Amino acid sequence: MSTRVAGKTIVITGASSGIGAATAVALARQGARLVIGARRMDKLEEVAARCRAAGGEVVALACDVACRESVEALVGRAAETFGRVDVVLANAGYGLVAKIHETTDEQFDAIVATNVKGTFYAMQAAAAVMLRQTPVGQGRDRRGHVIAVSSGAGRRGLPLYGVYSMTKAAQLSLVEAMRVEMKEKGIYVSSVHPLTTATEFFDVASEKSRVKTSGAGKVQTAAQVAAKIVKLIERPKPELWPAPFSRLALSLAVFFPRLADKGVAKTMGSRKR
């Protein structure tokens, strides 16, 4: 059990499946006190049961991150139940597979509401609570730690994932700005950038899209990403890139955009299905 995680109060949005669920269970094993939220309460209660079986304290609450009041209620419940909020993990989000010119207004507005506004609301709710808290310990996150689960696509727009990539880039921009704004306040802010993760992401994206793909890069399990998020909570840093060398590869795209265009076209084309 990690002494850096045990006893921390951690809020997770989008915790009913995928990375959110795996992270909740991993943190429960480390003795964290959890408040988890999602729209699908049946799935969320299953995750809560797994967390309790792993030895963690957990509160499960219905939460639609597209609604500010719902997010504020989730974070507020954590503060009310456990006395403080140490970490808020803004994880809720989904994918959209569609060419830019074929994306409808309804699709655009819906994904922005969840991926961008949902993260924005979680960050604001976290700050409202954490700024009132008494600093503890000696780390950079003495009042709290805010984490947004972005994507490798936040660094480079991908064909068929243009609008999705935009939402992930928006999350990264919010994190980068807030990290500087909160530096002297004792609130640390980080982003997480998975690539292809073995979750229901592509199934959900397919339900909302006209094109099906299976992502890009080496596939990681949700548990692998979750284990690295636990380490990020133990030792905060600006960005977490779970897939080895992915940050370097995407950084090179900035200097060689034409070569990057050819590379992503080939990779994403081979992943169509």
Tokens representing residue 38 in the block:
């999602």
Neighbouring C-beta atoms of residue 60, cutoff 10 Å: 23
Q: Residue 268: count other Cβ atoms within 10 Å of its Cβ.
A: 18
Which string of b and e fits 93-108 if b means at least 16 CB within 10 Å?
bbbbbbeeeebeeebb
Burial-class residue 43 by CB neighbours within 10 Å (0-12, 13-18, 19+).
middle
Which helix H or strand E contains 36, and what residues bound it?
A: strand 33-38
- Sheet with strand 33-38: strands edge to edge: 57-62, 33-38, 9-13, 87-90, 144-149, 187-192, 239-240
Query: Nearest to residue 196, comparing CAs of 172, 176, 175, 224?
Result: 224
Q: Which two tokens stand for residue 202?
A: 């592509």
Q: List Cα–Cα distances, 126 to 13, 46, 147, 223, 238, in angstroms.
A: 12, 25, 10, 25, 17
The amino acid that residue 189 corresponds to is V
If DSSP codes are grouped into helix, strand and coil, which group holds residue 116? Answer: helix
164 is catalytic: yes
Of 161, 112, 152, the C-alpha closest to 239 is: 152
Catalytic residue of the set 94, 121, 161, 164: 164
Residues involved in catalysis: 164
